[in-house]
């Protein structure tokens, strides 16, 4: 079984903690560089999981749709310094809605 | 809709065979869809539970880091964790769920020799220790979440595809085939009746010709 690395992308404050755990961190400040960086990380195929700060979620949403069909890597939103803003849940909800044709989580 | 088929017995047989295949395919796909949905619902609930758990843990930990940042100088904080002791790695294998390839992550258990903290305790604050401990504790859930969310995403795509196929078969293919079959049967029956009346008519004519 091949081993993969874990990456964390986001504001410096957020990814700092991950660094202590031996996760490779990539501090970013704005959305455009995040998109470029994320694309590189995905294409490198070295990473199994990529954590992305939720504050960048809006920008990378397009990228997520593009690479969503690949089994690896798994891109996961993590809450930013302001706590969870519900982007991650909204994303899952959207995926479910597309699959089932109805919003089943709101029940 | 106009039906364009040759009203022949050959065509009728062919269509009937196709209808049979379509119905069987529909049943199979429907079963697959139901099974997918069952798995999917479980995973969705699981992912929701994990997501909530992880988010609260992470928010906690982030606040800890904020505190640590507040009481320590930037250089000291960055210096303290610049060289992590452990290396987080995962092995990713591919699992097969209903013929969909989904990832299965397994955390490579790092050797915690002398704790996870990559620094001495003299120059760092207690808040940092706590924040790192919390983060480290939630890492396992985070990895699990990564796996589950990806699986949900991949399953969702498969469900969508299957749903489309089921619907296409149920509402387009099968009704069309039935319509065509009906058309041919009617046409053949009509020909049969036409033939019968023609025969009767001819018989009448022949008979009246004989009598006269």
pLDDT of residue B112: 57
pLDDT in tens, A35-54: 888 888 888 777 888 888 87
Q: Is the pLDDT of residue A99 over 60?
A: yes
* pLDDT bracket for residue A107 (50, 70, 90): very low
* pLDDT bracket for residue A94 (50, 70, 90): confident
Residues with Cβ within 8 Å of B151's Cβ and at least 6 positions away in sequence, in order, are B43, B97, B102, B103
* B35 token code pair: 């099974």
What is the domain count for chain B? 1
B85 contact A CB<8A: yes
pLDDT of residue A85: 67
| pTM for this predicted structure | 0.78
Within 8 A of B94 by CB-CB distance, chain A residues are: 71
B212 in helix, strand or coil?
Answer: coil
Out of A17, A19, A89, closest to residue B61 by CB = A17
Within 8 A of B87 by CB-CB distance, chain A residues are: 22
* B71 token code pair: 């009481």
Within 8 A of B116 by CB-CB distance, chain A residues are: 20-21
- Contact of A59 with B121, CB cutoff 8 Å: no
CATH of the domain at B85: 1.10.287.3240
pLDDT above 70: percentage of residues in chain A: 87
ipTM of this predicted complex? 0.81
Residue B4 counted as domain residue: no
**Domain of residue B185, residue span:** 9-211
pLDDT of residue B169: 93
Residues with Cβ within 8 Å of B116's Cβ and at least 6 positions away in sequence, in order, are A20, A21, B85, B86, B132, B133, B136
Residues with Cβ within 8 Å of B81's Cβ and at least 6 positions away in sequence, in order, are A16, A17, A19, A20, B118, B119, B132
Residue B1 counted as domain residue: no
Cα(A10)–Cα(A28) distance, integer angstroms: 5
Give the CA diameter of chain B.
133
Residue A107 counted as domain residue: no
Spans of chain B, pLDDT less than 70 = 1-3, 74, 76-78, 80-88, 109-125
Those of residues 137-176 in B touching chain A at CB distance below 8 A are 139, 142-143, 145-147, 149-150, 152-157, 159-160, 163
**Domain of residue A33, residue span:** 5-100
CATH of the domain at A93: 3.40.50.10580
């Amino acid at each position: 079984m091949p081993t993969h690395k874990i990456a964390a992308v986001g504001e410096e404050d957020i990814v700092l903690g991950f660094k202590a755990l031996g996760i490779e961190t990539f501090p970013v400040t704005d959305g455009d560089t995040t998109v470029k960086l994320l694309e590189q990380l995905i294409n490198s195929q070295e990473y199994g999981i990529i954590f992305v700060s939720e504050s960048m979620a809006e920008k990378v949403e397009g990228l997520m749709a593009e690479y969503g069909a690949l089994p690896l890597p798994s891109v996961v939103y993590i809450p930013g310094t302001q706590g969870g803003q519900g982007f991650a849940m909204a994303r899952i909800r959207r995926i479910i809605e597309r699959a089932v044709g109805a919003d089943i989580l709101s029940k | 809709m106009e039906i364009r088929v040759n009203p022949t017995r050959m065509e009728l047989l062919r269509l009937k065979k196709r209808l049979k295949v379509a119905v069987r395919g529909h049943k199979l796909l429907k079963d697959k869809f139901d099974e997918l949905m069952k798995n999917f619902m479980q995973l969705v609930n699981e992912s929701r539970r994990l997501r909530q758990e992880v988010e609260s843990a992470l928010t906690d930990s982030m606040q800890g880091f904020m505190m640590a940042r507040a009481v320590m100088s930037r250089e000291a904080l960055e210096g303290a964790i610049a060289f992590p002791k452990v290396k987080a790695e995962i092995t990713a294998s591919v699992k097969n769920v209903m013929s969909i390839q989904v990832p299965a992550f397994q955390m490579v258990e790092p050797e915690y020799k002398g704790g996870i903290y990559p620094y001495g305790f003299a120059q760092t604050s207690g808040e940092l220790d706590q924040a790192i401990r919390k983060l480290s504790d939630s890492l396992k859930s985070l990895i699990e979440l990564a796996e589950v969310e990806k699986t949900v995403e991949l399953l969702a795509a498969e469900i969508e595809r299957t749903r489309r196929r089921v619907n296409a078969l149920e509402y387009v293919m099968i009704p069309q085939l039935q319509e065509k079959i009906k058309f041919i049967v009617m046409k053949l029956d009509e020909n049969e009746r036409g033939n019968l009346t023609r025969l009767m008519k001819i018989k009448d004519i022949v008979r009246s010709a004989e009598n006269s």
